[in-house]
């Protein structure tokens, strides 16, 4: 009987590891093909598709682990300390918001993802303000919030399609 209980945990852990690898691949693709719209920080955030998928299929703990593993490996492989700090701030805050909104059952998966995208950019701007020692970076807030919402809608829609195909 202990083996049957362990199998569920092993299966979730294995799924989480595979999703972390997929998120790392998506991060690398975005690293290779940066989206340049004349403003730094605007990205689609393809790895967030995987994070939202983990949140809805495995739970918040696994989504957190996946995020932390992806950020650490991304920083080691093709980033730096600053990219890791910004990514960590954005990922932790956006995941916390997404977990809270998901628990309310008031928002669709796409709505939760949209809020996550916007909050990711807000947290990264806050980190930039602390690092730069200036609140002037918040001049970019309206554009980055809209970009985060747009990316969140795209990622949420893709994740919804994937979830339907998986079930």
CA atoms within 13 A on the CB side of 21: 5
Largest CA distance in the chain: 59
Count Cβ atoms within 10 A of the Cβ of residue 125 and give its class: 0-12 exposed, 13-18 middle, 19 or more buried. Answer: buried
| pLDDT of the residue at 166 | 85
Structural element, H or E, at residue 1: none
- For residue 1, pLDDT over 50 is answered with no
Which tens digits make up the pLDDT trace of 72-121? 999 999 888 888 999 999 999 999 999 999 999 999 999 999 999 999 99
Decide which of 5 and 60 is more confident.
60
CA distances from 14 to 3, 10, 43, 147 (A): 16, 6, 28, 33
CA distance 11 to 43: 32
2-166 in CATH: which number? 1.10.1760.20
Residues 6+ apart with CB under 8 A from 76: none
Break the chain into its structural domains and give their ranges. 2-166
Confidence of residue 41 (pLDDT cuts 50, 70, 90): low
Percentage of the chain beyond pLDDT 70 is 90
């Amino acid at each position: 009987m202990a083996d049957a209980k362990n199998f569920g945990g092993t299966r979730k852990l294995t799924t989480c590891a595979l999703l972390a690898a997929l998120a790392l691949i998506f991060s690398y693709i975005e690293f290779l093909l940066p989206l340049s719209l004349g403003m730094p920080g605007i990205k689609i955030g393809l790895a967030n598709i995987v994070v939202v998928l983990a949140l809805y299929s495995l739970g918040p703990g696994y989504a957190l682990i996946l995020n932390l593993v992806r950020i650490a490996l991304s920083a080691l492989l093709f980033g730096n300390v600053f990219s890791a700090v910004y990514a960590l701030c954005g990922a932790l805050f956006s995941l916390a918001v997404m977990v809270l909104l998901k628990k309310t059952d008031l928002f669709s998966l796409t709505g939760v993802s949209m809020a996550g995208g916007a909050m990711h950019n807000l947290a990264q701007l806050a980190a930039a303000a602390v690092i730069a020692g200036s609140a002037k970076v918040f001049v970019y807030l309206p554009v980055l919030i809209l970009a985060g919402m747009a990316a969140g809608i795209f990622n949420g829609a893709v994740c919804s399609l994937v979830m339907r195909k998986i079930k």
